[in-house]
A and B are shown apart, each in its own frame.
Chain A
Amino acid sequence: MLWEVDIYPAPGRPDVVAEQVRHDGLDLGIQGGWQVAAGRGYLVEGDFTHAQMQRLAEELFADPVVERFVIGQVGDSSLLEPPSPDMEPVYVLPKPGVMDPVAMSAAAAIEDFGWHARAVRTFRKYWFVGLSPSDLRRICQKILANDAIEQVIFGALPFRTLEQGRPYEFRLITVPLRDMDDQALLRLSREGQLFLSLVEMRAIREFYRSLGRDPTDVELETLAQTWSEHCSHKTLTGQISYRDEQRQIQFQNMLKETIFAATHEIRRRLGDRDWCVSVFEDNAGIVKFDEDYHVVFKVETHNHPSALEPYGGANTGIGGVIRDPMGTGLGAKPICNTDVFCFAPPDISHDELPPGVLHPRRVMKGVVAGVRDYGNRMGIPTVNGAVYFDRRYLGNPLVYCGNVGLLPRDKAHKAAQPGDLIVLVGGRTGRDGIHGATFSSAELTTESETLSGGAVQIGNAITEKMLLDVLLVARDRALYHAVTDCGAGGLSSAVGEMGRAIGAEVDLERVPLKYEGLSYAEIWISEAQERMVLAVPEDKWPELKELFASEGVEATAIGRFVPTGRLVLRYQGHQVADLSMEFLHRGRPAVVREAVYQPAPSVPMVLPPESEVDWTADLLAILSSLNVCSKEWIIRQYDHEVQGGSAVKPLVGRWNDGPSDAAVLRPVLSSYRGLVIACGMNPKYGDHDTYWMAAAAIDEAVRNCVAVGADPSRIAILDNFCWGNTDRPEVLGSLVRAALACHDVAVALGTPFISGKDSLNNEFRLKETETIAIPPSLLISALGQVDDVRRCVTMDLKQPGNAIYIVGITADELGGSHWAEIHGLSGGTVPRWNGERARRVFEAMHRAITSGCVRACHDLSEGGLAVAVAEMAFAGEFGAEIDLDAVPCAGSDLGPVARLFSESNSRFLCEVPVNQVSAFEAIFAGLPVAQLGTVMERPSLVIRWRGQTLIDTPLDKLKRAWKEPLAW
């Protein structure tokens, strides 16, 4: 019997969902007197009486205070009774096989009644009247459902049973690779979604020719995953021949010779004072924190899945990166999340969207909800982030998710041992996420949605939370030798990687499945979420199994690490794969890639005459530009205080709504030692020169940390490169150039890179000949430390009468600035970077904050001095009066436009109490610093230049401009 329970708002209660649908429909331009009602419900398959369903509806499914419900068996007319006359129903259901966590929980709750449901599925039910069929279809497509994971049913449900999957019958599949010519190899690579190059396919063919047999399907899949860009990072760790206007470099391993080399150099210089523990080795970078703990940090991207299904993509993006610290060393406890997004502007019209592309507003809402629902449920505060808008992210939004973990010092290293059991823990394996690793390494096309829908997944945060809780107990009882997460590549990558130096045997039929019907190959490559792999010594296995069972988490021994150097897979006793670890991990042929960089020709920016500049209007326009404006709508949807260590929140100031430079938290509740989390990124500079773009991103991330009080000699950074198609030499060239800057800047500041990740081929192919490539997008994430969070400062002005100082040099660097953007001006010079000055400014700033002579500190970034002082003033709700004449400049003839809006690096604004002025100035002796003005009671921003008042504007006007654009 298939029962249906429909739940609606009780009479007199608002139908919030329907109102939203109507609002979004009007937004789509669907006018007229159409009406909509909305409900949600459950399909429950099992032998229930009507009375039992009635009780389930009353006690489990519906809230009798605010909801009403309708129950019936599918097919009953009562279920098709419209809530108001002539309305027609539309059901939206997850497609069979798509994760439905609420249904899983509901099924378990029904068991608690002492009853059993064979299957449960959730749905949403809408009723419409007054829409044309085409408008109805449009609403379904654009608002109600996502084809990638959901099905839409008009009218009565056409089935009487929920699909459960069918039994799988074993059949060994081999691929006749040895006889294939080049064309056949390429076709196999593309159509089999292996996404390997011809050279790689040929290497595999030669390998099997030498073995005298053809590969099995699962061997081929394993090779494709291990060799995928996503898993092996073969482009950036490969050989590259680079050439730009100054130099030619032959890299054997580009990342190793730039970014890793910088860290190596810094650690060597530090000698005994080295505070890095493990860099670029484990799932996350590890650095020292205090006497008991290290901290670990990892940032990942989940771009392609988020483009197709924003909610699920971002959901599993954050879920995945949380498992990185959990799988670092013997398992770190996740303590905070970060998220950075890049979208096309949300005001783009629907008509401008290429086919296969979701509207950026929908992408943004979905991505934010995805991060929110997973991060909040995990009980991990999301404390730092940023959002960048550019039209080139239209088909290819970027979703960077990061996680910081706390790791006991004696748990930093792991090693699986021969003889250890391979134990799979956490969620069950389904057909979800098949081909995620290889798909994420390919270009998106208008057809990606149909081709790769299986790569899209929905996460279940509670499964992961349960796994986390019990994993940390097992860790502290030393019940396993090694742990890693099942990320991209699933078991294939987790077991292959962990057993790389040993060898492994796996019996695939032991893997617990969500439903029947998976082939051995699907089991092996599934990227189903919330799973991790442990190496468990035989004598600890009973205790571990019992511990996991006691918290309701599945743990299954699926094989063993054996000292054979081979990866052997079996299914019901049949051998289905036998690969040498050597070929798997070292057999990929090296390719020399060409990279060239030609800096954009230097063109001066032509400024309008000063008399024509409307200073106030410009400031308001920048404050309300999407990149600068308040992100409060996003920030407040994240729990940023759970775990109880919040010390500086992402929003600060008199009404808790000013933009903090960085978040500070105390990971150990009994201590005041703090962590500082910040980021830096500016894709706009990359259009000028990716070297200076990278330098500016690092400077921004570090100065954000320093601005709240972090010690600049203890900041670790991470790189995340998201780039276009690096098969094109000029695209790869722009990336190598950024990596060279990363090296130089890190070494100059003594700021080590400890981890990183890249995502290439971020291009959207419209037609055979036309692609949209994203701008070079390098995110720098920073993890700083403070000895005592009670010394931290925030950016809001605190006290009328205090002095306002600027620190650092302002130069004519308006290229790529927000001021240039609002005026549509190109050319100019992007901010340059002076390592010696940056290092000395950061050190002095830290001394000033630690000595207590700074009441407020804010970094100067997008929008320059004008935006920084405006933000400080409206956050603190005290006025500021400053004079531009005093700004220390590179060249005394710098005009007021550059003084106000230039985005030169390594600058801060500080509020200093009058009685601290001499102490403050003494700390900055020999460095560029000047008092610009004072904090005042009157709530206005006043900016003067050569005796003239350029701006005198009330703070509430500035604040409104800044707060409104994204106050959804």
Chain B
Amino acid sequence: MAKPRVLVLRAPGTNCDIETAYAFEQAGAVAERLHIARLLDRPALLRDFQIFCVPGGFSYGDDVAAGRILALQIRHHLLPAIQEFHEQDRLILGICNGFQVLLKAGIILPPDADGKPVATLTWNDTARYEDRWVYLSVVSDRCVFLRGIRELQLPVAHAEGKFVVRNADWLERLAHRGHVALCYQMPDESGRTSAQAGTSQPWQTAVPYPWNPNGSMGNVAGVCDATGRIFGLMPHPERFIDVTHHPRWTREERYEPPHGLLIFRNAVSYFE
């Protein structure tokens, strides 16, 4: 089987493209970083790839709002190409800013009956950017990227990562439809694992700051589409693909394989 090809999108202000491409390659893919201008010129370029990834950063400076301007560009020019790509059983991943972009472009979650978005990512409750490691538990068994994973430790680094739904009913609805893929969790006393990993409905009990780092409703850290093939998450899996990435590798048993790498391997093995 040929290695799957990954398009890692680069826009003005994207800044995690190199390490994200590297992570995909460590997982066995061939990754190419492509500027948005090339894709706008020729949306059909997407056909050469199996995985489409919008990595982290500050696309267009996050001016106006995080991910908004790139999301608009995608909505204005790339929706048909992306839809075709998705229909051909390929994968789409948005990390941090990429999650903001995909969500705001309406690519992950379908709008409500009036065509209005049901969820957004907005300012952290702390009203500031924060970089810290979090504990995560996997909720949906549908998400291709999270297959076989129960819990994760990964870093978040963002200012606008608070997941908010239009009204509280929507949380329940999204969860029941399998859209809620990843939730922030408390650690157990040892600090080595999630306290409630495997809890069946981790979106129901509010996890306090800093473990829910941004005040996300339902502790939501990541969501997927109905097929599980489009996934967006605020944490950065590409920042935990080596044991020395973990903040406590000098004191605890080593986490092997590194948790972030599991996500990239899942994406690659989908095409094996």
- What residues make up the interface of A, taking CB atoms closer than 8 Å to B? 16, 20, 59-61, 63-66, 101-102, 104-106, 108-109, 112-113, 372, 376-379, 460-462, 465-466, 469, 550-552, 636-649, 651-656, 666, 669, 672, 789-790, 792-794, 796, 798, 876
Q: Can you name the residue of chain B whose Cβ is closest to the Cβ of A651?
A: B247
Given contacts A462-B12, A462-B61, contact A654 B37 (CB under 8 A): no
Choose, from B13-21, B198-206, B262-270, the stretch at the interface. B13-21
Q: Which residues of A contact B119 (CB under 8 A)?
A: 65
Q: Which residues of A contact B241 (CB under 8 A)?
A: 644
* Contact indicator B61/A378 (Cβ below 8 Å): no
Complex alpha-carbon distance, A108 and B245, angstroms: 38
B9 CB to nearest chain A CB (Å): 13
CB-contact partner of B128 in A63, A64, A637, A655, under 8 A: A637
B168 CB to nearest chain A CB (Å): 11
- Judged by a CB distance under 8 angstroms, whether B231 is at the interface is no
A-B contact pairs, 5 of them (CB 8 A): A462-B60, A640-B131, A644-B19, A666-B244, A792-B250
Given contacts A652-B250, A654-B191, contact A669 B69 (CB under 8 A): no
Q: Which residues of A contact B127 (CB under 8 A)?
A: 16, 20
- Judged by a CB distance under 8 angstroms, whether B196 is at the interface is no
* Contact indicator B120/A113 (Cβ below 8 Å): no
B19 CB to nearest chain A CB (Å): 3
Complex alpha-carbon distance, A372 and B68, angstroms: 21
A640 CB to nearest chain B CB (Å): 6
* Contact indicator A102/B19 (Cβ below 8 Å): no
* Contact indicator B123/A60 (Cβ below 8 Å): no
Complex alpha-carbon distance, A108 and B69, angstroms: 9
B56 CB to nearest chain A CB (Å): 8
* Contact indicator A636/B120 (Cβ below 8 Å): no
Complex alpha-carbon distance, A669 and B119, angstroms: 36
- What residues make up the interface of B, taking CB atoms closer than 8 Å to A? 10, 12-16, 18-19, 22-23, 35, 37, 56-58, 60-65, 68-69, 72-73, 76, 116-120, 122-123, 127-133, 155, 157, 164-166, 191, 236, 238-239, 241, 243-245, 247-248, 250-251
* Contact indicator B250/A669 (Cβ below 8 Å): no
Given contacts A379-B15, A644-B238, A794-B251, contact A65 B165 (CB under 8 A): yes
Q: Can you name the residue of chain B whose Cβ is closest to the Cβ of A14?
A: B125
* Contact indicator A550/B61 (Cβ below 8 Å): no
> 9 nearest interchain CB pairs?
A379-B15, A644-B19, A105-B63, A65-B120, A462-B61, A102-B63, A647-B244, A794-B250, A377-B58
* Contact indicator B15/A378 (Cβ below 8 Å): yes
* Contact indicator B131/A109 (Cβ below 8 Å): no
* Contact indicator A551/B251 (Cβ below 8 Å): no
Q: Which residues of B contact A101 (CB under 8 A)?
A: 61, 63
Q: Which residues of A contact B166 (CB under 8 A)?
A: 65
Q: Can you name the residue of chain B whose Cβ is closest to the Cβ of A462?
A: B61
CB-contact partner of A460 in B19, B61, B236, B245, under 8 A: B61
CB-contact partner of B12 in A552, A636, A644, under 8 A: A552
* Contact indicator B18/A64 (Cβ below 8 Å): no
Complex alpha-carbon distance, A376 and B61, angstroms: 10
Q: A105-B63, A108-B60, A643-B18 are in contact. List 19 more A-B contacts (CB 8 A).
A: A61-B64, A63-B65, A63-B68, A63-B120, A65-B166, A102-B64, A105-B64, A113-B72, A377-B13, A377-B61, A466-B13, A550-B35, A550-B37, A639-B129, A641-B157, A642-B239, A644-B22, A652-B248, A794-B251
* Contact indicator A636/B61 (Cβ below 8 Å): no
Q: Can you name the residue of chain B whose Cβ is closest to the Cβ of A670?
A: B22
Complex alpha-carbon distance, A697 and B60, angstroms: 40
Q: Which residues of B contact A372 (CB under 8 A)?
A: 129
Q: Which residues of B contact A789 (CB under 8 A)?
A: 244
* Contact indicator A669/B19 (Cβ below 8 Å): yes
Q: Can you name the residue of chain A whose Cβ is closest to the Cβ of B254?
A: A790
* Contact indicator A636/B132 (Cβ below 8 Å): yes
* Contact indicator A654/B251 (Cβ below 8 Å): yes
A112 CB to nearest chain B CB (Å): 6
A665 CB to nearest chain B CB (Å): 10
* Contact indicator B37/A60 (Cβ below 8 Å): no
CB-contact partner of B117 in A65, A642, A648, under 8 A: A65
Q: Can you name the residue of chain A whose Cβ is closest to the Cβ of B60?
A: A105
Q: Which residues of A contact B129 (CB under 8 A)?
A: 372, 376, 637, 639
Complex alpha-carbon distance, A146 and B136, angstroms: 42
Complex alpha-carbon distance, A669 and B31, angstroms: 15
B105 CB to nearest chain A CB (Å): 11
* Contact indicator B58/A654 (Cβ below 8 Å): no
* Contact indicator A790/B244 (Cβ below 8 Å): yes
CB-contact partner of B68 in A60, A550, A651, A654, under 8 A: A60
Complex alpha-carbon distance, A60 and B166, angstroms: 18
Q: Which residues of B contact A460 (CB under 8 A)?
A: 61
CB-contact partner of A379 in B57, B123, B128, B251, under 8 A: B57
Given contacts A465-B12, A465-B15, contact A641 B239 (CB under 8 A): yes
Complex alpha-carbon distance, A208 and B271, angstroms: 76
Given contacts A61-B64, A106-B64, A550-B35, contact A112 B164 (CB under 8 A): no
* Contact indicator B248/A654 (Cβ below 8 Å): yes
Q: Which residues of B contact A790 (CB under 8 A)?
A: 243-244
CB-contact partner of B37 in A552, A641, A642, under 8 A: A552
* Contact indicator B120/A66 (Cβ below 8 Å): yes
Q: Can you name the residue of chain B whose Cβ is closest to the Cβ of A469?
A: B10
